[in-house]
Structure 1
C-alpha cells in the first residue's frame, strides 16, 4: 500500500511540475527579460546578461538562505502563474465548447445567438452547394458518365469548415461535440446525454485511455489560449511578448480544433462499437448490431424522467404544509 501511495504521489508531483511549474517558470523568465530589456533594447543579450549578473550579485542571494528563499519565491510564483493559466483555460474551454450558451448572461447570450444565426446562414449556403454537387454526380452516374469528385469533396470541406452538422452553438468546437449527439439521435434514436455515463463505466481500458488522452489534449490546447492572454500584458514592458501571445493564440486555435475533432470522433466510435455491450449489461434482448430500435430501448431504460407536478411534495411545489397562501 505504501508503494502504491508513493507512486501516486510521484505521478502527481510530475504532473504538477510539468503542467504548472515549468510553464509558469518560463512565464517568469519572459517577465524578467521584459523588465531587463524594455522596448529600447528588445534583443540585446549582453544587456540581459549584465542585468542578470547584477541581480545575482545582490546580498540577498549571496548565501544559501537567500538562495533558498529566492528559489521558493520562484517556485511559488511559477505555480501561481500556472494556476491562473489553468483557471483561464477552464473559462476559455467553456466559451469554446459553449455547451450552455443559452444560460450565459444576456449580453453574451445575445452575441452568441447572433453568431449562431450567421453560422447557420453560412452553413446552409455551403450545404446547398454540396447538395447540388451530389445531385450532379448522381445524375452522371445514372447516365453512365464519370464525374470528377474534386468539386464535390471541396464543397463538403467548405460545409464542414463551418460545421459538420447544422450549427447549434456559436463555435465550431461546440458544434463538433454537439454533432455526435445529433448523429446518434438521427441514426439510432439514441440520447447520448442519457447513455454516455453508463457506457463509460463498462468501456474496456483501451478505449477509455484513448478518450481520456483526447480529453486531456483538449484541456491542454485551451490552456494555451490562457497563456496567450497572460503574455499579452507583458507586451507593455517588452513588445516581443505580443508576438509570443499571438503565436500561442494561433497554436491554441489549431490544436483545440484538432483535439476537439479527435475527442468527438472517439466518443462517437465508442458508442457505435460498445452500445451493444451496454444493452447486454442491461439485459436487453437484441440480435445484431446497434439499430434504431435498440437505441430507442437504451434511451428509454437510461433516461431519467422529470418528476410530475402531482408527485412533488408540498415543499417542492413551493407550499408549506399547514400554511395557506394569500
Structure 2
C-alpha cells in the first residue's frame, strides 16, 4: 500500500509540475522580461542580464531563508498562473464546443445565433454543389463511363471545411462533435447522449484509454489557446509578446481542430462497433436470435451473425435505455 501511495504521489507531482508549474514559470519569465525591457529596447539582452544580476545580488536573496522564500513564492506564482490557464481553458473549451449555446447570456447567444445562421447558409450552398457533383458522376457511371472524382472530392472538402453535417452550432468543433450524434440518429435511430454511458461501461480497457487520451488532447489544445489569452496583456509592456500570442493562438486553433476530429472519430467508431454488444447484453438482439454458441460447452463465442444493426433495434435500445419520466404530482 505504501508503494502504491508513493507511486501515486510521484505521478501527481509530475502532472503538477508539467501542467502547472513549468508553463507558469515560463509565463513569469516572459512577464519579467517584458517588464524589464519594454518597447524601447525589446531585445536588449545585456540590460536584461544586468537586471537579473541585480536581483540575484539583492540582500533579501543572499541568505538561505530568503532563497527558500523566493523559490516558494515563484512556485506558488507559477502554479497560480497555471491554474488560471486551466480555468480559462475550460471557458475556451465551453465556447469552442458550444453545446449549450441556446442558454448563453443574451449578447453571446445573439452572436452565436448569427454565426450559426451564417455558417448554415454557407454549408447549404456547398452541400448543393457536392450533391450536384455526385449526381453528375452517378449519371456518368450509369452510361458506362468512368467519372473523374476530383471535382466531387473537392466539393466534399469545401463542404466539410464548414461542417460535416448541417450546422447547428456556431463553431466547427461544436458541429464536428454534434455530427456524431446526428449520424447515429439518422443511420441507427440511436440517441448518443442516452447510449454513451452504457456503452462506456462495456468497453475494453484499451478502447477506454484511447478515448480518454483523445479527450485529454482536446483539453490541452484549448488550454494552449488560454495561454495565448494570458500572454496578450503582456503586449502592453513588450511588443514581442504579440508574436508569442499569435503563435500560441494559431497552434491552439490547429490542435483543437485536430483533437476534435480525432475524438469525434473515436466516439462514432466506438458507438457503431459496440452498440450491438450492448443490445445483446440487454437481450435486444437485432433479429431476436441468440449469439453463436460453442457446441461443446454452450458458451457464447461473442459472435452475432444475425444480420446488420437495424433502425428498429436502435429505437428499441434507445427506448429501453431512456429513463421513464416522473409521474404527475398528486393532489
Question: TM-score higher than 0.5 here?
Answer: yes
- Whether 1:214 aligns to 2:231 is no
Offset of 1:312 from its aligned partner? 2.2
Distance 2:283 2:13 in 1: 43
The CA deviation at 1:292 is: 1.3
State whether residues 194 and 302 of structure 1, in contact with CA within 8 Å, keep that contact through their aligned partners in structure 2: yes
**Structure 1 SS opposite 2:43:** coil
1:275 matched to 2:292? The reply is no
1:16-67 alpha-carbon deviations (Å, 9 max, x no partner): 1111111000000000111111111111211111111111010011011111
CA contact (8 A) 2:276 2:285 kept: no
What is the distance in 2 between the residues matched to 1:91 and 1:19?
17
User: 1:278-321: per-residue Cα shift (whole Å, max 9, x none)?
Assistant: 1122232333343212211210111123324xx2256xxxxxxx
TM-score by structure 1 length? 0.93
What is aligned with 2:110? 110
Q: Deviations over 1:153-195 (max 9, x none)?
A: 1100000000000000000000000000000000000010001
Matches of 2:228 and 2:322, distance apart in 1: 41
| Residue aligning to 1:292 | 311
Do the aligned residues in 2 keep the contact of 1:272 with 1:290 (CA within 8 Å)? no
The alignment status of 1:245 with 2:258, answered yes or no, reads no
Task: Count how many residue pairs are aligned between Structure 1 and Structure 2.
Answer: 312
Give the distance between the partners of 1:161 and 1:248, measured in 2 at CA: 22
Q: Distance in 1 between matches of 2:116 and 2:16?
A: 38
- Structure 2 residue aligned with 1:319: none
Q: Paired residue for 1:61?
A: 61
3-state DSSP of counterpart to 1:99? coil
**Matched position secondary structure for 1:290:** coil
Distance in 2, matches of 1:120 and 1:259, equals 23
Task: Assess if the C-alpha contact under 8 Å between 2:89 and 2:224 holds in 1.
Answer: yes
Unaligned runs of 5+ in 2: 287-305
Question: Is the 8 Å Cα contact of residues 98 and 174 (structure 2) preserved in structure 1?
Answer: yes
Correspondence for 1:27: 27
Counterpart residue number, 2:325? 306
Q: What does residue 230 of structure 2 align with?
A: 230
CA distance in 2, matches of 1:281, 1:117: 42
* TM-score, normalization by structure 2: 0.92
Structure 1 segments of 4+ aligned residues over 6 angstroms from their partners: none
Cα gap change, 1:256/1:143 in structure 2, threshold over 3 Å: closer, same or farther?
same
CA RMSD of aligned residues (A): 1.1
Matches within 5 A, 1:40-51: 40-51=40-51
Equivalent position of 1:321 in the other structure: none
